[in-house]
Amino acid sequence: MIVLIALVGLTALAAAGMIVTDTELRASQNQEAGTNAFYAADAGLQQYLGTKSVATSTDTFTYSAGEAIVEGEKLLDLPNDRVVYRIRSVSTYAPPQGGTASRTVSRLALFSAGTVVAKASFASGSGLLKNGGSGTISGVDQATAGDANCPNSPAPTVAGVAVPPSGYVQSGGGLVPTGAPDVYEAPSGTELLESTGVPWNKIVNEGLIAPDYTIPPDSWPNFSTMDADEWPVIYVKNNIEVTPTESGRGTLIVRNNLTMDGSFEWDGLVLVGGYVTSNGYQTVEGATITGLNELLGETTAASDLGNGNKKFLYNSCKLTYASKAAFGGLSEVPGSWFERWQ
């Protein structure tokens, strides 16, 4: 009897052990399946954000961990061509042992058209100096009508120069800037720069943009090898002096001071934290904004265009192409990531 009781007890213990082991194995497999589904859902969300300029479609992404179905939903229109979207990613993983695990992640994303407001062909938060009456600083839009990639062009005329009160100083000759008005004086340099919509602090201190070229360590790009519709973003960490061999297009961002020599030409957007010194006969077509370090509480000197037949011309289309490449598209709204089991 004692032996029989002992055998029954051992059998019961063995059966219980097998049940516990099977339960733990099943729990582990479920956990693994849920993890795989989560990785796929999160990967799909990130890939959607990284490849879409607007969040209006539903896309399917396939990974080794599973398949993710990602859809965008428009929630709110904001001023300055911005839209808030909710992006939802669902992944279902079917493990080999059977069953399914599903995970859902979502977050808010902000679409921006990358619009930079051109207050003038040449806007300076710290003032602008000009010697003589030669040259052209025009707020008349140089964009031509009928460009399918730039509707509603040409745009209305802007100011030739925008500066703080008494910020434009010209020595000799007739007034060079022309526009509507020829010279616009903002209440202050800071208010002028803020009205352009350039997020300068986020650019230089928070990594808002990912430049195509950062100088240093990168070398200046070779524009002759680029496609005609490529408008790169170049970020210069300190000061730079450019010559005709550096002529090109896109968004040129200079943390401190920019010196332009000879017949340097640029199409697009020029953003300068400090001042611009112009030596020679440059042509910049798009928009130029200087003195942006004033937004960081720094004091900057006035830009100096000197003598010569240089041209600073407003072009709404070239400004749009450059600013869209630099600032446009979808960006994550911080703190909006959300995950739930399903």
| pLDDT computed for residue 23 by the predictor | 55
DSSP state of 282: -
| pLDDT computed for residue 302 by the predictor | 96
Q: Model pTM greater than 0.75?
A: no
CA-based angle 198:210:82, to the nearest 5? 45
Check whether 30 has a pLDDT greater than 70: no
DSSP state of 246: G
User: How many alpha carbons fall within 13 Å on the CB side of residue 48?
Assistant: 33
Tokens read off for 174: 């007739």
DSSP state of 336: -
Q: How far apart are CA 306 and CA 321, in angstroms?
A: 29
Terminal Cα distance for the chain, rounded: 53
Alpha helices, DSSP H, located in 256-315: none
Mean pLDDT of 28-34: 66
Computed over every residue of the chain, the mean pLDDT equals 88
132 Ramachandran zone, left/alpha/beta (phi>0; psi -120 to 50)? left
- The confidence band for 254, taking pLDDT boundaries of 50, 70 and 90, is very high
| pLDDT computed for residue 130 by the predictor | 95
Q: Which domains are delineated in the chain?
A: 2-112 (3.30.1300), 120-327 (no CATH)
Q: Which residue has the higher pLDDT, 213 or 151?
A: 213
170 Ramachandran zone, left/alpha/beta (phi>0; psi -120 to 50)? beta
